[in-house]
């Protein structure tokens, strides 16, 4: 219903994506990192919808549906892992997860 060029939509999506990326790189708390990942996933979904609306096909929305399901699954498992980590290390600092170092 609005005539916004695809570029603008994609621009919005990429800005949101990069804000999420900055969040992942900067925050030390695991919970915030997970949130930032969610922001990134959402932004990707936005890009799909914009493209689908541009071409007036259902494919974009179907892709977003799949991304949504995947994000839900990932959040469930990610939070379970955070719970385990909290039980073991008693903290949410992501720097304690460094046993795979050289």
Partner 1 sequence: MDNILNLLWLLPALPLFGFLVLAIFGSKFSKRGIAFIGVGTVGISALIAIIIGISYLTHTPPGNSYSQTLWTWFNVAGFSPSITFYLDPLSLIFCFVVTFVGFLIHWYSAESMEEGEGYARYFAYMNLFICAMLVLVLADNLLLLYMGWEGVGLCSFLLIGFWYKDDENSAAARKAFIVTRIGDTMMLIGLFLLVKSFGTLNVAAILSGAPAVWTQGSSLAFWGAFLLLGGALGKSAQFPLQVWLPDAMAGPSPVSALIHAATMVTAGVYLIARMHVLYELAPAVQMLIAIIGAVTLIIAGFSALMQNDIKRILAYSTISQIGYMFLALGVGAFSSGVFHFFIHAFFKSLLFLSAGAVILALGDEHDIRKMGGLRKKMPVVFWTFLFGAGALAALPFVTAGFYSKDEIIWYAFASDKGSIWLWLAAFGGSFITSIYTFRMVFHTFFGEQKTEISYVPGNRIKIPLIILGILSLIAGFVELPEWMGHFAPFSKFLNTALPAVSLANVAGSTETILLLINMIFALLGVWIAWRFYKKPQLLSSLQTGAGKRLSNFLFEGWKFDWFYDHVLVRPVVWLSRIDKTDFIEKIYGGVGNLNIWLNKVFGRTENGNIRWYTMGVALGAVITLTIILFL
Partner 2 sequence: MNVIFYITAIIAIIATLLVVTRTNAVHALLYLIVSLLSISVIFFILGAPFIAALEVIVYAGAIMILFVFVVMMLNQGKESLKQEKEWFKIKNWIGPSILSLILLIELIYVFTSVDTPVGNTGIVDTHEISKSLFGPYILGVEMVAMLLMTATVGAFHIGREKKNEYHRFLKKEE
What residues line the site for partner 1 (CB under 8 A)?
Answer: 21, 24-26, 28, 33, 94-95, 97-102
56 to 85, contacts with partner 2 by CB under 8 A? 56-62, 64-66, 68-77, 79-84
**What is the spatial distance between Cα 13 and Cα 19, in angstroms, rounded to a whole number?**
10
Q: Within 10 Å of residue 67's Cβ, how many Cβ atoms? A: 15
Span between the terminal Cα atoms of the chain, in Å: 55
State in angstroms the smallest separation of the CB of 76 from partner 2: 4
**What is the spatial distance between Cα 55 and Cα 94, in angstroms, rounded to a whole number?**
42
State in angstroms the smallest separation of the CB of 100 from partner 1: 5
User: How many positions of this chain bind partner 2 (CB under 8 A)?
Assistant: 71
């Amino acid at each position: 219903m609005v005539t916004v060029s695809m570029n603008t939509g994609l621009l919005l999506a990429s800005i949101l994506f990069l804000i999420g990326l900055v969040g992942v790189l900067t925050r030390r708390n695991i919970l915030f990192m997970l949130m930032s990942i969610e922001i990134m996933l959402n932004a990707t979904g936005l890009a799909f919808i914009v493209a689908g609306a541009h071409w007036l096909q259902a494919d974009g929305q179907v892709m977003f549906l799949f991304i949504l399901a995947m994000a839900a699954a990932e959040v469930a498992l990610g939070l379970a892992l955070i719970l385990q980590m909290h039980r073991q290390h008693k903290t949410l600092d992501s720097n304690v997860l460094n046993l795979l170092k050289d």
